[in-house]
Amino acid sequence: MQTMSDDVFGKIVDIESEYKDRGYAQGKEAGKDAGAVEGRELGLERGFDIGKDLGFYQGWVQTWLDAATTQPGLVPDRAQKKLLAIKAVIDSVPATNIEGAHFDDRLKEIRQKFKVASAMLGVNISAELPTNSLGSTAARIIAENVTKLPDFDDTVNIWVYEEIVEGKKLTEIINTQHENVKYLPGHKLPNNVVAIPDAAEVVKDATHIVVVIPHQFIEHLLDRIHGSIRPDARAISLIKGIGISSQGMTTMTQIIHRTLAIPVSSLSGANIANEIAEKKYCETTIGCSDPDEAIVWRSLFNTPYFRVNCVSDVIGVEFCGALKNVVAVGAGFIDGLGLGNNTKAAIIRIGFLEMRRLAMHISGAQIQESTFMESCGIADVITTCYGGRNRRLAEEFVKTGKPMSQLEKELLNGQKLQGYLTADEVHSYIDGCGVTDHFPLFTNIYKICYKGKTPNSIFDGLNVDFSNDTRAPSPAL
């Protein structure tokens, strides 16, 4: 498994220190060469991201100046002037040892000019979709981080489904009161979060798109925005759901990539939105197949209270995030029945193993065993089964006998949950494959939600042996 940890960032800092210790001239030349190569090969998304010394800036600037020469009209005149201004500052720094304060002052000047130039080029704008509680929480984190990241524009645009709340448009409330009073009340959003009711306008010119929307609405949203996406953009999905197609089961990143034709990563973990908003310590997992992009995504999300670990297993992170909601529904049934912690622990264990089995059955060796031990795996199962809204809704389902959709309206202010919907989609897949007997808990949860089975039937047929499960699909399946 390939992971990106704090060690990577420590090495970057060590390299910078080594450059300065060896003398500025050597550091500048080494950095210039690296920055130029990376800038030309991978464009602005790489030429600046991995270092802070002047050489990397020069690689970024030269990339755009070259593009302005070879592709007339690509770079606006005003942006070209700013690029030349950055280059002039870089070239004015003497290629000999200089005092650290002088170096820092020049670097600060370059960074300020860089931010203006990057904004003119229409790059480095974060887009957030949309403003449910998790979306608002993520926007808050990103908005705080981008002000500290010189390679990103300070403004974080968020798509808001326009609603009237207490006689005012929700976008107006967010932009003036800086609070999502409907979905994240009591928690202020930074002033650089801007609410926009048009999703296509939000993603226009954005290089980084964060997708947070109930999974049943994703295809409709993608149809609306696909014509407005930059070709060099990339996205990350915070959606905890999966999709069913005629070809079988697909993940949200696959659906997004298929429609938008851009790289897509995933984020999932033991992340209850209100607790994150209160800045209570937690962890999360980012699945990103490109180590360089993982650095960028981590810089956008990582905080002292929201700790990010990156793995290369994009699909595994997604599957864990989606399937744990089904287990949480089962845990809620146990709470509704009043059967206690021992019974609940048994359901969690069996549910976790069925998650693992289903993931392996669908994707085989693509999903890494260790992913289940990340925050997106076992940690998210535990927190969702004890504190999540899927658990709460399932408990009330048992106690009141009301349909899930009605309970959503009464208890969750109309927000949509994924657990019982994912249970339906999972059952469609395993039933189509003829393997429902290998997933008794998931099958029982589906029947309780949709077929009128009593909550006590959750225990039917749970004596399944998981000891022979392997990373590859079992021949028995």
**Angstrom distance (rounded) from CA 158 to CA 117:** 23
pLDDT, residue 134, reads 84
User: Residue 49: is its pLDDT beyond 80?
Assistant: no
**pLDDT tens column, 139-153:** 999 999 988 887 788
Residue 293's contacts (CB-CB under 8 Å, 6 or more residues apart) are: 45, 234, 263, 265
* β-bridge mates for residue 157, sequence order: 127, 194
C-beta of residue 122 within 8 angstroms of C-beta of residue 205: yes
Confirm whether 324 is a catalytic residue.
Answer: yes
Three-state DSSP class for 348?
Answer: helix
Residue 127 has pLDDT above 90, yes or no: no
Query: In the structure, what pLDDT confidence band is assigned to residue 102 with cuts at 50, 70 and 90?
Result: low
Q: Tell me the sheet residues that pair with 188.
A: 179
pLDDT value of residue 246: 42
Catalytic residue among 28, 113, 182, 324: 324
Assign 12 a pLDDT band (cuts: 50, 70, 90).
very low
CA distance 44 to 62: 10
Tokens of residue 424, six digits: 């339906």
DSSP letter (8 states) at residue 418: S
Contact 264, 257 (CB under 8 A): yes
* Residue from 78, 85, 15 nearest 57 by CA: 85
Q: Is the pLDDT of residue 272 over 60?
A: yes
Task: With a cut of 60, say whether residue 26 has pLDDT above it.
Answer: no
Q: What DSSP element (H or E) covers 445?
A: helix 440-450
Per-residue pLDDT averaged across 73-87, rounded? 71
Those residues with Cβ within 8 angstroms of residue 338's Cβ, 6 or more apart along the chain or in another chain = none
Does the reported pTM lie above 0.75? no
Q: 164-165 and 156-159 as β-strands: parallel, antiparallel, unpaired?
A: unpaired
CB distance 392 to 411 below 8 Å:
yes
- Closest among 128, 120, 117, 144 to 61, alpha carbons compared: 117
